[in-house]
Structure 1
């Protein structure tokens, strides 16, 4: 990703786009969808939210009221087909993604689908094949998957450093993915499919190769873990060329949202996601150091990445295509997570089943 500057407020340089305003429908306006509506309305140029759809009618009405002229369309498939909608953001629960993304492809409308692309590898592969068929007819790609870390300036810098050979051949990647808390229904399997999925995509993005196998270890559980669940987890990803990525996934730290990535190469190492405050991070309490400089949640940590992602998607959608991770990236991540869940349950190394095009 090429940027003119990396400070807040300066977006990547893009080719000139048509002047027409992109009319966007947002499906699902929970935490993520509502954030996308606000960002499209106030921070992304060339796009306008014209419709929202959500199973919770009151919530949909509340969000629509924040954008002048925005309509509520209760049925998401009706929203996709609406002639006043040019493009779609899918932020609905994952179980609805396949149907909604396939409807976007059938309608020929660009779509940004939040992860996961679908709930399992087989249905993700079905979406890949549907878009491949559309691309064969039209020469266009429509589906972009919401792996926002690819748009984060630090990750872009790290990828450029690797590509330039400044670290030599990368050998190891160390990752930490920590949340302060998660809801009571958040299972160990969801730690793989909702959290580690980002590291699976980041590894492919940085190293430019697929994940061949997954091993999951269960350390002693934190007393703050969701009852009956293993938290933290240690996940080991193996690439096709033999590189290793270890991921510490800890979703009940009580501290904040911490995401760090270190690449160790033959000739040096580089780390991103370091905090500017204390080295020691601890939850608040009597006699405990209170951590500073740690983002409270993902929206603050990756706010800049979301700005860039939505602007680039909007610009590309106005041209009829995408500018970011596509259906194959979504499918590859689903395949890694499927292997990860199997490895979690079995306690054994599990190879990734990735069906080639």
Structure 2
């Protein structure tokens, strides 16, 4: 079976996923594209022989679309995801699932009412080989109970449009999701403190930021978010347990020895760092649609949890670094909880 995918949002990430679905992943075809910019939608659709449709609603309703990929502007995500659920069509939504916790819960309730999972959220790190190796080690229990997690998320630069709240909402959200998964534990509080600011930032931006999270079992997480580090795109993660630690491996790179120096290059872009994770993520999603099974990736509940936790981090930043408790609803049994 070839899964016919309709893509809502033909911007940079949408176009990259269209390339992935048409050139990398087998068993899928992009059959429809919609975007607020009709001219761009037509241009992108023409490249892959797809139809350009006027709206996301038209795309969801199309009989030529089996599954929906949402890569549009964040505030439009809830509308398109809810439409796909109402149509009974599987939907892959790039993060965020929605920009408010209330809209995330609307999606959760709609999916529960449908009776089976249709939604996968685009947190690709769960599909990264290094993180999966960490998960395997932690699952054995050989390190004892996790105690502390040290993380860093560094970008070389960000555009002037990037603002301080985006450090949590757009950047740290990836660590928030993958750590909930790695630890199989919920984050219950967030604190954001700001050290000395780098001179390499735009004046309105608080950078770097240090985020401190606590989980329900008492694990403490410290996360450095530094989006103007200059030297490259650098992701670090280390989980310290009672009997040892496990560290995320750096991407493979050749070592060069010359002129009395020994070193290796640092990646400059998140697309290069997680290219294989994106590919694996979409292979798994397409396979689940083709087989008629529920998706194995992050759920609507995971999207809700990430939004609640990033909201708490933003509130802490705005309150000058006070610790903010996450106000999360009990996890329903539908998503593996007890409520």
Q: Which bracket does the TM-score occupy, shorter chain normalised? A: over 0.9
- Tell me the residue number matched to 2:54: 74
Spell out the pairing of 1:29-68 with structure 2 (5 A cutoff).
Answer: 29-67=10-48
Alignment CA distance shift 1:275-1:317 (3 Å)? closer
Alignment partner for residue 305 of structure 2, among 289, 314, 332? 332
CA distance in 1, matches of 2:254, 2:165: 32
Does structure 1 conserve the Cα–Cα contact (< 8 Å) formed by 2:148 and 2:221?
Answer: yes
Does structure 2 conserve the Cα–Cα contact (< 8 Å) formed by 1:255 and 1:291?
Answer: no
CA apart distance, 1:311: 0.4
C-alpha distance after superposition, 1:45-92 (max 9, x if no partner): 11100111112233222322321x211112111101101100011011
* Alignment pair present for 1:341 and 2:314: yes
Spell out the pairing of 1:99-178 with structure 2 (5 A cutoff).
Answer: 99-135=79-115, 140-178=116-154
- Tell me the residue number matched to 2:8: 27
C-alpha distance after superposition, 1:300-330 (max 9, x if no partner): 1000000100000001012333121100100
Does structure 1 conserve the Cα–Cα contact (< 8 Å) formed by 2:251 and 2:273?
Answer: no
Alignment CA distance shift 1:290-1:329 (3 Å)? farther
C-alpha distance after superposition, 1:251-293 (max 9, x if no partner): 11122211111111111112114255699xxxxxxxxx99843
Alignment CA distance shift 1:163-1:296 (3 Å)? same
- Tell me the residue number matched to 1:350: 324
CA distance in 1, matches of 2:107, 2:98: 8
TM-score, structure 2 normalization: 0.92
- Tell me the residue number matched to 2:185: 209
- Tell me the residue number matched to 1:93: 73
CA apart distance, 1:122: 1.6
Alignment CA distance shift 1:348-1:256 (3 Å)? same
CA distance in 1, matches of 2:188, 2:263: 37
Gap regions ≥5 residues in structure 1: 1-19, 280-288
CA distance in 2, matches of 1:299, 1:229: 24
CA distance in 1, matches of 2:43, 2:114: 36
Spell out the pairing of 1:308-327 with structure 2 (5 A cutoff).
Answer: 308-320=280-292, 321-327=294-300
RMSD of aligned Cα (Å)? 1.7
C-alpha distance after superposition, 1:95-138 (max 9, x if no partner): 00010000000000000100100001121111111111111xxx
DSSP 3-state at the match of 2:210: strand
TM-score, structure 1 normalization: 0.87
Gap regions ≥5 residues in structure 2: 256-260, 333-339
DSSP 3-state at the match of 1:188: coil
Does structure 2 conserve the Cα–Cα contact (< 8 Å) formed by 1:40 and 1:47?
Answer: yes
CA apart distance, 1:246: 0.7
- Stretches of 4+ moved more than 6 A in 1? none
Count how many residue pairs are aligned between Structure 1 and Structure 2.
324
Alignment CA distance shift 1:336-1:290 (3 Å)? farther
Spell out the pairing of 1:222-237 with structure 2 (5 A cutoff).
Answer: 222-237=198-213
DSSP 3-state at the match of 2:250: coil
Alignment CA distance shift 1:290-1:55 (3 Å)? farther
